[in-house]
Amino acid sequence: MFINFDEILVQENGQVRSFAELVGEALNFHKPGENYKTEGYVVTPKTMELMKEHLKQTGGQVNP
């Protein structure tokens, strides 16, 4: 997975985002098992079944 930090740290107008702006965006992360609520997430007929099984296997823990 490639993360383009320029897109994260620099606004369209060229100004660098403040720490407060970045922290504010971090609050928009979803809780474990709520991926499907993220804009653009593709939901299929098996999404909830797969999500439930994944949460069971991981115990709802996020690992880096």
Q: Is the pLDDT of residue 16 over 80?
A: no
Alpha carbon 63 to its chain centroid, in Å, reads 13
Determine the pLDDT at residue 46: 94
Short-list 55, 50, 14, CA closest to 31: 55
What is this structure's pTM?
0.49
Q: What is the pLDDT of residue 53?
A: 92
Domain boundaries, the chain: 5-58
Alpha-carbon distance of 35 to 44, in angstroms, equals 13
45 with 36: CB under 8 angstroms?
no
Q: What type of residue sits at position 6?
A: D
- Find the mean pLDDT for residues 36-57: 89
Residue 22 near residue 8, CB atoms below 8 Å: yes
pLDDT reported for residue 59? 87
